[in-house]
Amino acid sequence: MICGFCHREIPEETPEKGCGRCGGGCRKVHCPYCGYENPLPSPLLERLLGRKEKKK
């Protein structure tokens, strides 16, 4: 995932899968470089839009 603010690559295994701070099942990933909060597509949405081919 590319960060929407600084456009750097957020590693897949970022400890924050969902920021875990807000209620209501927050689904946002904070960029480790700039703190920007990126929306995490739901599995359903990913399936609907056709999952991007995994790299490597």
Residues that bind another protein (CB under 8 A): 4-9, 11, 13-15, 19, 21-22, 24-28, 30, 32-37, 39-42, 45, 49, 55-56
H helices present in the chain, as ranges: 43-49
- In whole angstroms, give the CA distance from residue 16 to residue 26: 11
The secondary element (H helix, E strand) that includes residue 28 is strand 28-30
Whole-number minimum distance, CB 16 to Zn ion, in Å?
Answer: 9
Whole-number minimum distance, CB 2 to Zn ion, in Å?
Answer: 9
Per CB under 5 A, 19 contacts Zn ion:
yes
